[in-house]
Chain A
Amino acid sequence: MTFDQIGSVDAVSDALAAQGYLAERPLALAIHLAVTLEQPLLLEGEAGVGKTEVARALAAATGARLIRLQCHEGIDLHHAVYDWDYPRQLLALRAAEGGVDEGALFSRRFLLRRPLLEALEHDGPVVLLIDEVDRADDEFEAFLLELLADFAVTIPELGTIQAAHRPVVVLTSNRTRELHDALKRRCLYHWIDYPNPDHERAIVHARLPGVPEAVAARVVAAVGRLREQGDLYKLPGVGETLVWARALLAVGDDVDLYDTLGVALKVHEDVQRVRDRRVLENV
């Protein structure tokens, strides 16, 4: 099923579920709007709730190409859009011994295409995932804003490159800092929360086919108890639930859960607290 065939919110849910990603209805609706209105989607949420997975599942479900731009501090045009292959240009210059003109030097042959340029030029549907955009800085955000408006990039030597089809853009943020208002308002916004126990059990079954119901129920109940504790530094996410289930499958279901806490809790004080309070009794 392609983007054009996504006619309704249910179609989105079904398509994602077929890829093993169980989206709740608000998220499916937000995705449907992002595709229909051709607006970017900004996903925020706790760690490990599946923000990046959504884009992967969407690309797989619609046969679109997933292009991922991982933002980091100091990311700029050369990391994100394009760069010139200077060493090869120098070699070409030397090899030709002064007989090369500028047009041949600054041509496609020596252009290194980075993710955003690939997304613009790809022939066919694209899901562009801009991951952890809060790790980039203000200058890059300003550039992103322009790009998301026109989907065109100007390379001085080559001219303006316009996208033939607008990609579906998904941005994720971990809220280490507030994004610029202008960028946030250009996007549709969705907050992904922890799933409720039934939904989480369904996710475990979808991602680990063949897992016994007893294991899934035990892990989901344990994670639920941990999330109820009001004073843990880092709460376990859905990713941790899945790893815990796989751990139980690997070492056997009868293992003492307290021994496997390291799978779900990564802060020493949290592990101590859970052990001291015997939080996982009867799970």
Chain B
Amino acid sequence: MSSGFVIDECWRMSDPVIAPLASLAAEMRALGGRVGVGELLNAHRALEAVDSPSPEDSRLALRSVLCSGRGDLERFELAYEAVFGAGRVVADPSALDELGGVERAVLPRAGMPGTARPDQGPRDSQPVPAAWSDVELLREKDFAQYTEEEIALAHRLVVRLARRGPTRLSRRTRPVRRRRGHSPDLRRILRASLRTGGEPVHRHWQAPSRRPRPVVLVCDVSGSMAPYARMLLQYMQACVAARRRVEAFAFGTRLTRITGELSSRDPDRALRRATEAVTDFSGGTRIGSALAQLNRGHGRRVGRGAVVVILSDGWDRGEPELLEVEMARLRRSAHRLVWLNPLAAHPDFEPLARGMRTAVPHADELLPGNSLASLEDLAGVLEEI
């Protein structure tokens, strides 16, 4: 669909309706929703299809069309309030330019020449480690001692690590050549035998294919984890970007889901949005109540054979009984439970902190997670699961 066609169709519709619709879409996009030109056109058709002109029905019709998930429902409410609040329709002439702005956002994806891509520049100036020995030093160094430069250098290595993750056998099968240990592919055999007059001369085999196992990352961002939070969030962002079926959460005293924020293509923007979304950075820790929220609010994502990775040092201010119960429940729902504790890297480490004592028996693996080398170990463990 070329831009010219879109403008013509819009102008043919009634103009007083376009401006507020465009404002509504702009508000939703500002709040993080994704509303495109297609949805706007659909919204207009929906308004025409609603038979009664009551404002409530129109609002509900717009909600059905412009929302595509539960998270959007709230954004829609806020945007609707902002644009149509107090019974007043905002006829904002600049909103029509906004419609042009939407097309400008669409055009680069269609590959039209002559449109600049604003976020291309900073991506190219990623620093690269100079020599192999630098990489080695970087790998072993504890995250808490990284300088700004080292954080930037480590990014590429983190991205490579994030691609490795757990897989599992799926119900889909794929054709294989070897016969050993694999089952016959009846459909292919029969089909091939039609060519040979009904005799199954050619044999074909099939094996189950592998697909990525869902991974749930839960990161402690309280005060005691502050030196590690930044690198660990980078790792989480890289995981969300690299694989499908990765969920990311952060907690201090409450749990916040940050998968959506971290899934932006630009890593810096992703981290910024995630940081804004989490309100209890560097505060206290209540691991038990955070896991309770995970088990209840997101139980369905954790089930279905997910691998749960908790990144926390275990300094918990909540009640140990709650932590015990929730860890037990989490262990039962998840396929495997991995605990990363940066304090565990210390040679004299013993899980004496109250939280760790309660939690460690329920975890399948306990790893440090304080350096690139230990993240590599994590990647290895995940692949073995």
Q: Which residues of A contact B (CB under 8 A)?
A: 7-9, 25-26, 29-30, 32-33, 36-37, 39, 42, 44, 72-74, 76, 78, 84, 86-87, 89-90, 93-94, 98, 105, 137-139, 174-178, 181, 184-185, 187-191, 231-234, 269
Contacts and interface: CB of A to CB of B under 8 A. Distances in A.
Most buried by A among B46, B187, B301: B46
Given A29-B60, A86-B191, A105-B194, A175 B300 contact: yes
A42 B70 CA distance: 11
26 contacts: A8-B52, A26-B63, A29-B61, A32-B49, A33-B65, A37-B42, A37-B45, A39-B42, A44-B70, A87-B190, A89-B194, A137-B170, A174-B300, A175-B301, A176-B300, A178-B69, A181-B34, A184-B69, A185-B36, A185-B39, A185-B68, A187-B68, A188-B64, A231-B296, A233-B295, A269-B329
B50 interface: yes
Given A189-B72, A231-B292, A86 B329 contact: no
Interface centre among A93, A174, A175, A188 (most CB of B within 10 A): A188
Nearest to A234: B299
B42 A137 contact: no
A138 B197 contact: no
Contact of B64 (A94, A176, A190): A190
Q: Interface on chain B toward A: helix, strand, loop, or mixed SS?
A: helix
Q: Which of A7, A175, A189, A231 has the most CB of B within 10 A?
A: A189
B214 to A, nearest CB: 7
Most buried by A among B69, B72, B197, B303: B69
Given A37-B46, A105-B194, A177-B245, A189 B51 contact: no
Nearest to B65: A188
B304 interface: yes
B57 interface: yes
B260 to A, nearest CB: 9
A116 to B, nearest CB: 18
A8 B72 CA distance: 26
Contacts of B170: 73-74, 137
Contacts of A177: 214, 245, 301, 304
Contacts of A36: 49
B12 interface: no
Contact of A9 (B52, B186, B191, B193): B52
A106 to B, nearest CB: 9
B211 interface: yes
Contacts of A78: 187
A76 B329 contact: no
B244 interface: yes
Nearest to A83: B187
Given A33-B50, A233-B299, A189 B69 contact: yes
Given A90-B194, A93-B197, A137-B172, A33 B68 contact: no
Contacts of B61: 29, 33
> Which 3 A-B residue pairs are closest in the complex by CB-CB distance?
A74-B171, A86-B190, A184-B68
Nearest to B187: A86
Contacts of B38: 185
Contacts of A232: 296
A94 B200 CA distance: 12
Nearest to B56: A25
Contact of A191 (B36, B57, B73, B198): B73
A90 B190 contact: yes
- Of listed A29, A73, A76, residue having the most chain B CB within 10 A: A29
Interface string B180-202: 00000011001101100110000
B67 interface: yes
A137 B46 CA distance: 30
Contacts of B67: 189
Contacts of A233: 295-296, 299, 329
A169 B92 CA distance: 37
Nearest to B172: A74
B295 A8 contact: no
